[in-house]
Structure 1
Amino acid sequence: MASRSPRTTIFLLLLAVSLPFVCGCTDYGGQGVEQWSSDIPGGEAGDAVFNTPVQSAFTGEDESGTGFALQRIQPVMDGAAATEPRMFPVKFETREYEIDIDVNRSVYEGARTVDKALPAEYWYDEYRMLGYYSSFIGDPAIVTFLDDVLSPLERIRRSDNLNDEEFLELMVTFVQQIPYDSGAPVYPRYPVEVIYDGKGDCDEKSLLLLGMLSRAGYDAALLLFPEMHHATAGIRISTNGNPPFRTFTTSKNEKYFYIETTVPTYIGLYSENYEDAEAFVVPLGNGEKRFTRVNYVCHITESYQKIADRLVFMEATMAEWKQEIEDMKSDLQYGTYDTQDAWDDDYASYTALVGDYNSYVEKYRKYAEIYVYIRDRPYDIAGVYRRIENSNVMDITI
């Protein structure tokens, strides 16, 4: 076959769509993001009781003067309704839920009045940053509120018989599906403000998730990126191998995955700018439960990238073949042949190429179907893994 320049416009899909694995927060201003606080007894919320303490160092400026934290929330009684309902639609695995949360108005109003400013020079002081972020999820009023957030999720856990892994993924996808607020204030809002406002930026949603994970007994960590003035949530992983993307490790060699909260994204994946960024890993709380589906995520992401690469190659190949088919068709219709046999030979070549092309298109469509399925369903890790395996798409030869 003659080699011709490929037409990149030919055929189907969305290869220009960016990977869901590289989305995320890219604002590097003075915004803060996450935190933790000193031992606080478990609180009761509805019909669920969570007894895992939220651990860190401070509630307010510590006595030694070396730490930094926000003042405690002082609930404001303004005569309005005691609570305000908020509802969040959530897709998880094969189901859709409505998560109903009653927000304590007095705690919300009190949280709004707290001065959340953070001196810029504190970003390289791990101790002060821990104190600052601890304030957002370790404040006694927020600890109680976090139990209110967990209560409807705990009911789903019981009704659907979710294990610890599935419950972790439910919490993550719940926070990821809270609408992103591109106009968020400079300094982070408390979790109660995020739920009441029904939106948050990456830092604020990460704080909410960190609080939830710790209260539910998971080994979570604050990941600090001082050069970017950014912090996010991390979850400890159980693995003996080396994932194909970055893990964040403590001095004790404890490994944590990054959790992107901006939009639904597979656990462990992050924006490219975090690949080599300096990071501090600060474990929080006393939780012991970990993320165990590391191999699932690795298989999903590796399959996704291989499929994406193959789709690009196949699209170029199909463009070249289609052009050749059009040229052969034109020759057959309007060309001059010395003999019928010569025309018959070209026609046979034409029909063979059309057959090869159509077979190639079918393979392309199978790849594209799985590509889209992986891209659009980060809230169903186990289901996506099974779909890849059952499709045998990685066995297709091109």
Structure 2
Amino acid sequence: MNGRTVLTFAAAACVFVAGCCCNLGDLGELLSQSGDEEPSEDTPGVDLGVAVYPEKTPASGATKYAWRDRRLEPPVYRAGYALGADEQRDVDAAHRELAQRLKYQDAGDGAFRWVPPPGCDASMQCIFESLVERSKPDVDPLAARFKARIQEAKLGPLDAVELLASFVQTIPYEIPKDRPFGLMPPALVASAKKGDCDSKALLLHMLLDAIGIDSVLLNSNAHRHAMLGVAVPAQGEKIRYQGRAYAFVETTAKNAPVGWISKELLKPNDWVVVPVRIRSPEKAPKNEAATGKAGDGPKPKSTKKR
């Protein structure tokens, strides 16, 4: 889903219209590239191995990934991810319990209502943070596979972002129409191998955080779309937030390089930053989305690109 357009505030309830969450598809033609189809089993490349959670989950049932990024050498990579069936159900149940606490209601035709608790604004930051907090133990083993490769290959920050972004870009685009808030928890995006713009952006945000790369969620109501902003030196379009420049990263288009954004998505340019904190469940304070009470610390501010 996302971006989301706020229609009205009434009786403390927010009404949103779920956008199409632009699927830009394969940028092969736009970027004058070819031969970027999914590598075959015989194509030489780097195998990152299979990440599993919990630890005893059989790797035999892992979701398999194979992708190509011609900006890297070697260009072909493989990975697997297995999330235990009980854990998948628990992640799903936590998502639906969150929706119940926030009085989520499907309003039909892609719209929904919810009641933001104190300390949570219409950017849905607290919802995003609750989803990544619950998915962190699940995603950490996958992030560890990428971190090991980055260290082994001595990749710089930009190449590390390219590797992770190209992985997430290869996940097929699909709007989660039957899920609360039009979102899939990041762990389920990786295990089901599907997701829309903000769901995939949250997964990439978590992977980047695990390797120490600063990133922020970017949202546009006008275009009903979400992307990620990454604080690495890159060519292309950027957005400024708290004194730092964040390069746009498109997660719904294969082959999209760091810093690329469709010119159509800059007319109008209403992109804002939604800073999503990532905390381990055991270390995180009980936040507003979990308890309905205001969390600790200052309320984050969103800024538009200047």
Q: Which residue pairs with 1:30 in the alignment?
A: 18
**Which of 196, 205, 214 is matched with 1:201 structurally?**
196
Q: Which residue pairs with 2:273 in the alignment?
A: 281
**Which of 128, 143, 155 is matched with 1:162 structurally?**
155
Find the aligned partners of 1:183 and 1:129 in 2 and give their Cα distance: 17
Q: Deviations over 1:1-48 (max 9, x none)?
A: xxxxxxxxxxxxxxxxxxxxxxxx999742699xxxxxxxxxxxx999
Relative to structure 1, is the Cα distance of residues 121 and 249 closer, same or farther in structure 2, using a 3 angstrom cutoff? farther
1:219 and 2:232 correspond: no
Find the aligned partners of 2:20 and 2:115 in 1 and give their Cα distance: 12
Q: Which residue pairs with 2:239 in the alignment?
A: 248
Find the aligned partners of 1:127 and 1:180 in 2 and give their Cα distance: 25
How do 1:256-295 and structure 2 match up within 5 A?
256-264=246-254, 265-275=256-266, 276-285=268-277
SS for the counterpart of 2:253 is coil
1:87 and 2:64 correspond: yes
1:180 and 2:166 correspond: no
In the alignment, residue 173 of structure 2 is paired with which amino acid?
Answer: Y
Give TM-score scaled by structure 2 length: 0.58
Find the aligned partners of 1:184 and 1:91 in 2 and give their Cα distance: 29
1:110 and 2:90 correspond: yes
Find the aligned partners of 1:26 and 1:130 in 2 and give their Cα distance: 13
**Alpha-carbon offset, residue 255 of structure 1:** 1.8
The structure with more helix, counted as a fraction of residues = 1
Residue segments in structure 2 that go unaligned for 5+ positions in a row:
6-16, 22-48, 105-111, 279-306
1:97 and 2:77 correspond: yes
How do 1:1-398 and structure 2 match up within 5 A?
29-30=17-18, 84-92=61-69, 93=72, 94-113=74-93, 114-115=95-96, 116=99, 117=104, 119=113, 126=121, 129-139=124-134, 142-181=135-174, 185=178, 187-238=182-233, 246-250=237-241, 252-264=242-254, 265-275=256-266, 276-285=268-277
Find the aligned partners of 1:47 and 1:89 in 2 and give their Cα distance: 12
SS for the counterpart of 1:269 is coil
**Alpha-carbon offset, residue 154 of structure 1:** 2.4
Give TM-score scaled by structure 1 length: 0.46
Q: Which residue pairs with 2:292 in the alignment?
A: none
**Alpha-carbon offset, residue 127 of structure 1:** 6.5
Residue segments in structure 1 that go unaligned for 5+ positions in a row:
1-24, 34-45, 49-74, 287-398
Relative to structure 1, is the Cα distance of residues 86 and 262 closer, same or farther in structure 2, using a 3 angstrom cutoff? same
Find the aligned partners of 1:112 and 1:47 in 2 and give their Cα distance: 22
**Alpha-carbon offset, residue 121 of structure 1:** 8.2
Find the aligned partners of 1:189 and 1:172 in 2 and give their Cα distance: 18
**Alpha-carbon offset, residue 178 of structure 1:** 1.5
Find the aligned partners of 2:114 and 2:139 in 1 and give their Cα distance: 28
* Same amino acid, percent of matched pairs: 20
Contact 2:158 2:233 in 1 (8 A): no
In the alignment, residue 207 of structure 1 is paired with which amino acid?
Answer: L
**Alpha-carbon offset, residue 120 of structure 1:** 6.5
Contact 1:218 1:235 in 2 (8 A): yes
**Equivalences, count:** 213
